[in-house]
Amino acid sequence: MTNYRTVTPGYRETIGIPLITGRWITAADRDSTPFVVVINQTMAKTYFPNESPMGKRLQLGATPDKETPWMEVVGVVGDVKQNLSTDAPTEMYVPVPQGDKVLPVFGLSMVMRTSNDPRSLISSLNSAMHEIDHNQPLINIRTMEENVATSVSQPRFRTLLLALLAGLALLIAAVGIYGVMSFAVAQRTREIGTRMALGSTPGEVFRLIISNGLKLTLTGMIIGLIAGALVSHYLSSVLFKLGTIDPLSITAVTALLIVVALVACYIPARRATRVNPIIALRYE
Protein backbone atom coordinates (compact mmCIF):
# COMPACT_ATOMS: atom_id res chain seq x y z
CA MET A 1 0.00 0.00 0.00
CA THR A 2 1.44 3.35 -1.03
CA ASN A 3 0.48 6.89 -1.98
CA TYR A 4 0.39 7.54 -5.72
CA ARG A 5 1.21 10.95 -7.21
CA THR A 6 1.34 12.05 -10.84
CA VAL A 7 3.77 14.96 -11.22
CA THR A 8 5.61 17.09 -13.76
CA PRO A 9 9.41 17.59 -13.94
CA GLY A 10 9.40 20.84 -11.92
CA TYR A 11 7.48 19.45 -8.95
CA ARG A 12 10.49 18.24 -6.95
CA GLU A 13 12.38 21.56 -7.14
CA THR A 14 9.23 23.55 -6.36
CA ILE A 15 8.39 21.55 -3.25
CA GLY A 16 12.05 21.16 -2.28
CA ILE A 17 12.27 17.36 -2.19
CA PRO A 18 15.90 16.14 -2.10
CA LEU A 19 17.05 13.60 -4.68
CA ILE A 20 18.75 10.70 -2.88
CA THR A 21 19.82 8.51 -5.77
CA GLY A 22 19.08 7.99 -9.45
CA ARG A 23 17.17 10.63 -11.37
CA TRP A 24 13.94 12.57 -11.20
CA ILE A 25 11.16 12.65 -13.75
CA THR A 26 12.01 14.57 -16.94
CA ALA A 27 10.14 15.98 -19.93
CA ALA A 28 11.41 12.99 -21.95
CA ASP A 29 9.22 10.63 -19.93
CA ARG A 30 6.20 10.49 -22.27
CA ASP A 31 3.40 8.01 -22.82
CA SER A 32 5.39 6.60 -25.76
CA THR A 33 8.54 5.90 -23.70
CA PRO A 34 9.20 3.17 -21.13
CA PHE A 35 7.20 3.77 -17.98
CA VAL A 36 9.18 4.97 -14.96
CA VAL A 37 8.53 5.67 -11.29
CA VAL A 38 10.38 7.50 -8.51
CA ILE A 39 9.84 6.32 -4.92
CA ASN A 40 10.56 7.92 -1.55
CA GLN A 41 12.97 6.65 1.09
CA THR A 42 10.26 5.11 3.25
CA MET A 43 8.97 3.05 0.33
CA ALA A 44 12.52 1.98 -0.54
CA LYS A 45 13.20 0.84 3.04
CA THR A 46 9.79 -0.82 3.39
CA TYR A 47 9.67 -2.86 0.18
CA PHE A 48 13.35 -3.13 -0.74
CA PRO A 49 15.19 -3.67 2.57
CA ASN A 50 18.92 -4.36 2.37
CA GLU A 51 18.96 -3.89 -1.40
CA SER A 52 18.85 -1.12 -3.97
CA PRO A 53 15.43 -0.45 -5.51
CA MET A 54 17.02 0.99 -8.67
CA GLY A 55 15.95 -0.94 -11.75
CA LYS A 56 13.18 -2.82 -9.95
CA ARG A 57 9.84 -3.01 -11.74
CA LEU A 58 6.45 -2.18 -10.20
CA GLN A 59 2.88 -2.61 -11.32
CA LEU A 60 -0.25 -1.16 -9.72
CA GLY A 61 -3.00 -3.54 -8.73
CA ALA A 62 -3.76 -6.40 -6.37
CA THR A 63 -2.63 -9.01 -8.91
CA PRO A 64 -0.56 -8.85 -12.14
CA ASP A 65 -2.54 -7.43 -15.06
CA LYS A 66 -1.49 -7.55 -18.72
CA GLU A 67 -3.32 -4.29 -19.41
CA THR A 68 -1.43 -2.36 -16.70
CA PRO A 69 2.08 -1.24 -17.70
CA TRP A 70 5.12 -2.08 -15.60
CA MET A 71 7.13 0.86 -14.22
CA GLU A 72 10.89 0.86 -13.64
CA VAL A 73 12.25 2.52 -10.50
CA VAL A 74 14.66 5.22 -11.74
CA GLY A 75 15.15 7.29 -8.59
CA VAL A 76 14.73 7.61 -4.84
CA VAL A 77 13.81 10.94 -3.18
CA GLY A 78 13.45 12.17 0.37
CA ASP A 79 10.29 11.74 2.42
CA VAL A 80 7.58 14.39 2.61
CA LYS A 81 5.38 14.50 5.73
CA GLN A 82 1.70 14.87 4.91
CA ASN A 83 0.80 15.85 8.49
CA LEU A 84 2.61 16.43 11.76
CA SER A 85 1.01 13.62 13.77
CA THR A 86 2.23 10.67 11.67
CA ASP A 87 5.43 9.56 10.00
CA ALA A 88 5.96 10.08 6.29
CA PRO A 89 4.00 7.49 4.27
CA THR A 90 5.33 5.37 1.43
CA GLU A 91 4.95 7.31 -1.83
CA MET A 92 5.61 6.93 -5.53
CA TYR A 93 5.83 9.63 -8.22
CA VAL A 94 4.80 8.96 -11.81
CA PRO A 95 5.09 11.32 -14.84
CA VAL A 96 1.78 12.96 -15.73
CA PRO A 97 1.88 11.80 -19.40
CA GLN A 98 2.26 8.18 -18.22
CA GLY A 99 0.02 8.45 -15.18
CA ASP A 100 -3.29 8.25 -17.00
CA LYS A 101 -2.40 4.84 -18.45
CA VAL A 102 -1.21 3.55 -15.09
CA LEU A 103 -4.14 4.90 -13.07
CA PRO A 104 -6.76 7.33 -14.48
CA VAL A 105 -6.09 10.95 -13.45
CA PHE A 106 -9.21 13.08 -12.97
CA GLY A 107 -7.69 16.23 -11.49
CA LEU A 108 -4.39 17.98 -10.89
CA SER A 109 -3.06 20.52 -8.42
CA MET A 110 -0.70 23.32 -9.44
CA VAL A 111 2.17 24.16 -7.08
CA MET A 112 4.08 27.45 -7.32
CA ARG A 113 7.09 28.84 -5.45
CA THR A 114 7.29 32.62 -5.20
CA SER A 115 9.78 35.16 -3.83
CA ASN A 116 7.05 37.56 -2.66
CA ASP A 117 3.50 37.36 -1.31
CA PRO A 118 1.86 34.46 -3.18
CA ARG A 119 -1.56 36.05 -2.80
CA SER A 120 -0.47 38.89 -5.07
CA LEU A 121 -0.10 36.43 -7.98
CA ILE A 122 -3.61 34.96 -7.89
CA SER A 123 -4.96 37.39 -10.49
CA SER A 124 -2.04 36.75 -12.86
CA LEU A 125 -2.38 33.01 -12.36
CA ASN A 126 -6.07 33.10 -13.20
CA SER A 127 -5.35 35.16 -16.34
CA ALA A 128 -2.65 32.73 -17.50
CA MET A 129 -4.93 29.75 -16.94
CA HIS A 130 -7.77 31.50 -18.81
CA GLU A 131 -5.47 32.00 -21.82
CA ILE A 132 -4.61 28.29 -21.83
CA ASP A 133 -8.18 27.04 -21.31
CA HIS A 134 -11.01 29.44 -20.45
CA ASN A 135 -13.19 26.48 -19.41
CA GLN A 136 -10.71 25.35 -16.74
CA PRO A 137 -11.21 27.26 -13.47
CA LEU A 138 -8.74 27.46 -10.59
CA ILE A 139 -10.36 26.47 -7.31
CA ASN A 140 -9.25 26.19 -3.69
CA ILE A 141 -6.23 28.48 -4.07
CA ARG A 142 -4.25 28.55 -0.81
CA THR A 143 -0.73 29.10 0.46
CA MET A 144 1.47 26.41 1.98
CA GLU A 145 1.19 28.20 5.33
CA GLU A 146 -2.59 27.82 5.11
CA ASN A 147 -2.19 24.14 4.26
CA VAL A 148 0.01 23.59 7.30
CA ALA A 149 -2.32 25.60 9.54
CA THR A 150 -5.29 23.52 8.39
CA SER A 151 -3.46 20.24 8.98
CA VAL A 152 -2.54 21.20 12.56
CA SER A 153 -5.76 22.99 13.50
CA GLN A 154 -7.26 20.04 15.38
CA PRO A 155 -4.02 19.06 17.22
CA ARG A 156 -3.45 22.76 18.01
CA PHE A 157 -6.97 23.10 19.45
CA ARG A 158 -6.55 19.96 21.57
CA THR A 159 -3.16 21.18 22.78
CA LEU A 160 -4.59 24.60 23.66
CA LEU A 161 -7.47 22.95 25.49
CA LEU A 162 -5.06 20.72 27.40
CA ALA A 163 -2.91 23.75 28.25
CA LEU A 164 -5.93 25.66 29.60
CA LEU A 165 -7.06 22.68 31.66
CA ALA A 166 -3.50 22.17 32.91
CA GLY A 167 -3.31 25.84 33.94
CA LEU A 168 -6.63 25.51 35.73
CA ALA A 169 -5.41 22.35 37.47
CA LEU A 170 -2.24 24.17 38.52
CA LEU A 171 -4.29 27.05 39.98
CA ILE A 172 -6.55 24.62 41.85
CA ALA A 173 -3.47 22.77 43.15
CA ALA A 174 -1.92 26.02 44.40
CA VAL A 175 -5.16 27.11 46.11
CA GLY A 176 -5.57 23.62 47.57
CA ILE A 177 -2.04 23.52 48.96
CA TYR A 178 -2.47 26.99 50.44
CA GLY A 179 -5.79 26.02 52.01
CA VAL A 180 -4.47 22.76 53.45
CA MET A 181 -1.37 24.43 54.89
CA SER A 182 -3.39 27.31 56.37
CA PHE A 183 -5.74 24.80 57.98
CA ALA A 184 -2.81 22.74 59.25
CA VAL A 185 -1.19 25.79 60.83
CA ALA A 186 -4.47 26.72 62.51
CA GLN A 187 -4.92 23.18 63.81
CA ARG A 188 -1.33 23.04 65.08
CA THR A 189 -1.29 26.45 66.74
CA ARG A 190 -0.98 24.91 70.21
CA GLU A 191 1.77 22.56 69.03
CA ILE A 192 3.68 25.40 67.39
CA GLY A 193 3.35 27.50 70.54
CA THR A 194 4.65 24.61 72.62
CA ARG A 195 7.62 24.14 70.30
CA MET A 196 8.50 27.83 70.46
CA ALA A 197 8.03 27.89 74.24
CA LEU A 198 10.49 25.00 74.53
CA GLY A 199 13.09 26.82 72.46
CA SER A 200 12.26 26.28 68.78
CA THR A 201 13.26 29.26 66.67
CA PRO A 202 10.99 30.90 64.07
CA GLY A 203 13.32 29.55 61.37
CA GLU A 204 12.83 25.98 62.59
CA VAL A 205 9.05 26.43 62.65
CA PHE A 206 9.19 27.94 59.16
CA ARG A 207 11.16 24.96 57.82
CA LEU A 208 8.76 22.54 59.53
CA ILE A 209 5.72 24.00 57.79
CA ILE A 210 7.49 24.20 54.42
CA SER A 211 8.72 20.59 54.67
CA ASN A 212 5.23 19.33 55.52
CA GLY A 213 3.82 21.18 52.51
CA LEU A 214 6.49 19.78 50.20
CA LYS A 215 5.85 16.23 51.44
CA LEU A 216 2.19 16.56 50.45
CA THR A 217 3.16 18.11 47.11
CA LEU A 218 5.73 15.43 46.27
CA THR A 219 3.25 12.69 47.13
CA GLY A 220 0.70 14.23 44.77
CA MET A 221 3.34 14.69 42.06
CA ILE A 222 4.38 11.04 42.21
CA ILE A 223 0.76 9.98 41.81
CA GLY A 224 0.37 12.49 38.96
CA LEU A 225 3.49 11.26 37.15
CA ILE A 226 2.25 7.68 37.32
CA ALA A 227 -1.14 8.73 35.96
CA GLY A 228 0.58 10.84 33.26
CA ALA A 229 2.67 7.87 32.15
CA LEU A 230 -0.52 5.84 31.74
CA VAL A 231 -2.09 8.41 29.38
CA SER A 232 1.17 9.40 27.64
CA HIS A 233 0.24 7.41 24.52
CA TYR A 234 -2.69 9.77 23.91
CA LEU A 235 -0.63 12.86 24.70
CA SER A 236 2.02 11.86 22.14
CA SER A 237 -0.63 12.07 19.39
CA VAL A 238 -1.19 15.79 20.01
CA LEU A 239 2.40 16.87 20.75
CA PHE A 240 4.66 17.32 17.74
CA LYS A 241 8.06 15.56 17.91
CA LEU A 242 7.65 14.51 21.53
CA GLY A 243 7.91 10.92 22.69
CA THR A 244 5.59 9.22 25.14
CA ILE A 245 8.00 10.12 27.97
CA ASP A 246 9.74 13.47 27.47
CA PRO A 247 12.33 14.13 30.24
CA LEU A 248 12.54 17.87 29.54
CA SER A 249 8.78 18.41 29.82
CA ILE A 250 8.53 16.28 32.97
CA THR A 251 11.44 18.13 34.60
CA ALA A 252 9.98 21.54 33.71
CA VAL A 253 6.51 20.70 35.04
CA THR A 254 7.97 19.17 38.22
CA ALA A 255 10.06 22.28 38.86
CA LEU A 256 7.05 24.53 38.22
CA LEU A 257 4.87 22.58 40.67
CA ILE A 258 7.57 22.75 43.34
CA VAL A 259 7.80 26.53 42.92
CA VAL A 260 4.01 26.85 43.12
CA ALA A 261 3.97 24.67 46.25
CA LEU A 262 6.68 26.78 47.89
CA VAL A 263 4.76 29.98 47.16
CA ALA A 264 1.52 28.42 48.44
CA CYS A 265 3.25 27.25 51.65
CA TYR A 266 5.13 30.49 52.26
CA ILE A 267 2.26 32.57 53.67
CA PRO A 268 1.05 29.90 56.18
CA ALA A 269 4.66 29.27 57.18
CA ARG A 270 5.30 32.97 57.79
CA ARG A 271 2.10 33.15 59.81
CA ALA A 272 3.26 30.22 61.95
CA THR A 273 6.52 32.00 62.83
CA ARG A 274 4.52 34.90 64.29
CA VAL A 275 2.57 32.75 66.76
CA ASN A 276 2.84 34.07 70.31
CA PRO A 277 3.69 31.08 72.56
CA ILE A 278 1.63 32.43 75.49
CA ILE A 279 -1.47 32.93 73.34
CA ALA A 280 -0.91 29.60 71.56
CA LEU A 281 -0.75 27.68 74.84
CA ARG A 282 -4.15 29.15 75.80
CA TYR A 283 -5.56 28.33 72.32
CA GLU A 284 -8.43 25.81 72.22
The answer to whether residue 133 is domain-embedded is: no
Residues 156, 277, single domain; the answer is: yes
Per the domain annotation, does 269 fall within a domain?
yes
Alpha-carbon dihedral of residues 115, 112, 143, 3, nearest 10 degrees? -140
Same domain, residue pair 198 and 252? yes
Residues 107 and 172 in one domain: no
Residue 140 inside a domain? The answer is no
- pLDDT confidence bin for 283, thresholds 50/70/90: low
Q: What are the helix and strand counts (H, E) for the chain?
A: 11, 6
In a domain, 135, yes or no: no
Query: Can you give the pLDDT at residue 179?
Result: 79
Q: Is the pLDDT of residue 278 over 70?
A: no
Residue 23 pLDDT: 95
pLDDT classification of 235: cutoffs 50, 70, 90: low
Total domain count, the chain: 2
Amino acid 75 reads G
Which residue, 111, 133, 162, sits at the end of a domain?
111
- Residues 183-217: tens digit of each pLDDT: 777 777 777 777 777 777 888 888 888 888 788 87
Question: Residue 161 falls within a domain, yes or no?
Answer: yes
Domain identity same for 190 and 262: yes
The answer to whether residue 80 is domain-embedded is: yes
Looking at residue 61, what DSSP letter applies? Answer: S
Q: Are residues 198 and 77 in the same domain?
A: no
Instruction: Return the pLDDT at 119.
Output: 85
Q: Beta partners for 6?
A: 94
Please give the C-alpha separations between residue 277 and each of 170, 201, 212, 274, in angstroms, as whole numbers: 35, 11, 21, 9
The whole domain housing 61 covers 3-111
pLDDT in tens, 47-71: 999 899 999 999 988 788 888 889 9
